[in-house]
Structure 1
Amino acid sequence: MLNTYLQGLAVGLSLIIAIGAQNAFVLKQGLKKQHVFWVCFACALSDSLLILMGVSGFSAVLQHYPQIIQFAQWGGALFLFWYGLQHALQALKAESTMQLSANSESRLMQILLMCMALTWLNPHVYLDTVILLGSISTQFTDKALFAAGAVSASWLFFFTLGYGARVLIPVFENPKAWQFLDGIIAVIMWAIAISLVFDF
């Protein structure tokens, strides 16, 4: 039983640890110390739902209705291009973005909506969590325990990334570091958007 759980944990971590749109967003929110708990919670909860959908057999639905992934493909590409453009513009600014805006509390819903879009409009999320994890889970007698391990990986990773980002805050006291991060995030977003359109 423990082996099944650990394998779910290992597979979950291996799929989630790659740098992507969602992880870059969590990292930046962690550096800004802006609604970190809710961002991590939203990402982990979304991943958990997707994993449970995959293990429960929803992958068969996606295979019969590929339009769902096609919608996420094009919608995600447009969204990621726009999101990358926002970071590119930030990278061109000279001032630091470390300081939180005065209305940061009122922006919680906006931040959560952004987080949801980065998660649910990314077709790679469906391929990794729903289809791939769902397929792997069929190899185990206790699929629920495998799913529990994969779900644990998501909660562990996102909260570690969100709160662990604070270790890097001294580095980002330099506005140039923020410009570099925004530039890197812009490139990542555009690269993912291009891959969705041409290589998907």
Structure 2
Amino acid sequence: MLESYLTGLIVCGGIIVAIGAQNAYVLSQAIRQEHHWWSAGLCMTSDVLLFSLGMFGVSAALMAMPEALNALRWLGVLFLGWLAIQAFYRVIIGRAALKAGEGRTATLKGVVLTTLAVTLLNPQVYLDTLLLIPAVGAQQADGATFLAGASSASILWFGGLAWAGSRLAPWLATPTAWRVIDGVIGLMMSAIALQLAIGGL
């Protein structure tokens, strides 16, 4: 049982860290302290639900609908490209230092919708959570314990991002730091979008 749990924790932790769009968005919200726990919580919940669906055989249905995956691929390219353009625009024009409770803040509804879009419009999320992870889980002695380990990885990672980002806010919420952060976010979103557009799934 412990081996299955640790396998889920380590394997899924590595995969979650590699899904850059979610990480970049949660971290940026945490630094701005704009509903970052809502954003992190939605990412955790989505992962747990998708892991569970994958373990219960949704992967077979997903593979049977290549057209849906292809449509999702191009939606992801467009959305991630738009996020990249916004980030690069902020790099060019700059923005005032943002501190907790100051400046223009995002609405809870906007944060929730963007988090869901970053999560659900990225085809890589489905491939990882519905195909790759269940394939590893199927080889474990205890599937339920593996699922618990995978879920723990998501909760620990996104919880850590939300906490660390908010703690670092006083040092990172400066115009220069924000230009660097937005530049990194823009490059990350662009790279994922290009990978999807050129390399496909």
What's the TM-score once normalised by structure 1's chain length? 0.93
Amino acid at match of 1:169: A
Who is 2:26 aligned against? 26
CA distance in 2, matches of 1:101, 1:90: 18
Alpha-carbon RMSD across the aligned residues, in angstroms, is 1.6
TM alignment of 1:78-93, pairs within 5 A:
78-93=78-93
Q: 1:151 Cα deviation (Å)?
A: 0.7
Q: Deviations over 1:22-65 (max 9, x none)?
A: 10001101101111211111000011111111111111111111
In structure 1, stretches of 5+ residues that fail to align are none
Q: 1:6 Cα deviation (Å)?
A: 1.2
Q: 1:103 Cα deviation (Å)?
A: 6.4
CA distance in 1, matches of 2:142, 2:110: 39
Tell me, yes or no, if the aligned pair for 1:93 and 1:179 is still in contact at 8 Å: no
CA distance in 1, matches of 2:25, 2:33: 12
Amino acid at match of 2:134: G
Tell me, yes or no, if the aligned pair for 1:88 and 1:186 is still in contact at 8 Å: yes
Amino acid at match of 2:172: F
Who is 1:196 aligned against? 196
Who is 1:73 aligned against? 73
Q: 1:145 Cα deviation (Å)?
A: 1.1
Q: Deviations over 1:94-119 (max 9, x none)?
A: 333514566647x1011110000000
What's the TM-score once normalised by structure 2's chain length? 0.93
Q: 1:184 Cα deviation (Å)?
A: 1.2
Q: 1:128 Cα deviation (Å)?
A: 0.9
SS at match of 1:98: coil
SS at match of 1:139: coil
Tell me, yes or no, if the aligned pair for 2:31 and 2:173 is still in contact at 8 Å: no
Tell me, yes or no, if the aligned pair for 1:69 and 1:126 is still in contact at 8 Å: no
Change (3 A) 1:65 1:49: same
Identity, in percent, stands at 39
Who is 1:146 aligned against? 146
Once the two structures are overlaid, the 10-residue window that deviates more, 109-118 or 135-144, is 135-144
Count of aligned positions: 199
Who is 2:158 aligned against? 158
Who is 2:115 aligned against? 115
